[in-house]
């Protein structure tokens, strides 16, 4: 089977959705979930699904060694970033060229780069009165948010859209599309 590691920092709704999607797959399986936050919701949620969870410190993420060892020991083929809000160390990117897939809550190259993550993105989209927003699924390279785009999906930003309503729309778009795009990208 093709083995995935999922990195997540927060609620982990995408991570959980991916776990559930591949639960009965004959082709893809989850090796482990990695989080840089002990109290992230995903830590318990993934464990409840019977998935191994590893919690690391931000220093360990930066130092890369532990991440590299974990991926090697678990024979990981692809790394999925599902709301992982730390920079991926170059050493890991070097070991997994075109094998790290990120989801970003905007239509890149718009609203990408430093400081642009999670709710910050939606705030900026609303402030600029954008009429459309969406999500980008892309490979990770050493240039932040600039790796090759695999797929994008759009949604309308309505009159009177709020931060919460936009965030909800984007999450629905992510849940509907991310697992499937992962599958189509890694299973040839
Ligand atoms: C998602 O909307 C994802 O696109 C975003 O964080 C959210 C995590 O939600 N990622 C980034 O901003 C990466 N730069 P979740 O924890 O419920 O999956």
* For residue 144, pLDDT beyond 90: no
Sequence-separated (6 or more) residues with CB below 8 Å from residue 142: 90, 93
**Residue pLDDT, tens place only, 112-139:** 998 999 999 999 999 999 999 999 999 9
The pLDDT of residue 116: 95
- Indicate if ligand 1 lies below 6 Å from the C-beta of 141: no
104: annotated active-site residue = yes
Which of 95, 86, 103, 188 lies closest to 139 in space, CA to CA? 103
Closest Cα to atom 5 of ligand 1: 83
Q: Where residue 12 falls among pLDDT bands split at 50, 70, 90?
A: very high
The pLDDT of residue 188: 83
* Residue 176 CA to ligand 1 centre (angstroms): 14
Ligand 1 atom nearest the C-alpha of 8 is 16
What pTM value is reported for the model?
Answer: 0.97
The CA distances from residue 87 to 62, 117, 142, in Å, are 8, 12, 9
**Residue pLDDT, tens place only, 47-101:** 999 999 999 999 999 999 999 999 999 999 999 999 999 999 999 999 999 999 9
Q: Where residue 4 falls among pLDDT bands split at 50, 70, 90?
A: very high
- Indicate if ligand 1 lies below 6 Å from the C-beta of 6: no
* For residue 37, pLDDT beyond 90: yes
The pLDDT of residue 64: 96
The pLDDT of residue 7: 98
Contact between 122 and 167 under an 8 Å Cβ cutoff? The reply is yes
* Residue 8 CA to ligand 1 centre (angstroms): 8
């Amino acid at each position: 089977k093709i083995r995935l590691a999922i990195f997540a920092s927060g609620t982990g709704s995408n991570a959980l959705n991916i776990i559930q999607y591949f639960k009965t797959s004959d082709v893809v399986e989850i090796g482990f979930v990695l989080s840089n936050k002990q109290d992230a919701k995903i830590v318990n949620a993934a464990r409840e699904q019977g998935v191994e969870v590893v919690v690391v410190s931000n220093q360990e993420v930066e130092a890369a060694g532990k991440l590299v060892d974990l991926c090697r020991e678990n024979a990981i083929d692809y790394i999925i970033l599902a709301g992982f809000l730390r920079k991926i160390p170059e050493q890991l990117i070097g070991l997994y060229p075109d094998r790290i897939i990120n989801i970003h809550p905007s239509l890149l190259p718009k609203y990408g780069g430093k400081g642009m993550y999670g709710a910050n993105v939606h705030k900026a989209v609303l402030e600029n009165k954008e009429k459309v927003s969406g999500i980008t699924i892309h490979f990770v390279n050493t240039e932040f948010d600039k790796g090759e785009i695999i797929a994008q999906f759009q949604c309308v930003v309505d009159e009177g859209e709020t931060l919460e309503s936009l965030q909800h729309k984007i999450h629905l778009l992510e849940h509907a599309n991310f697992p499937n795009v992962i599958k189509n990208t890694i299973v040839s």
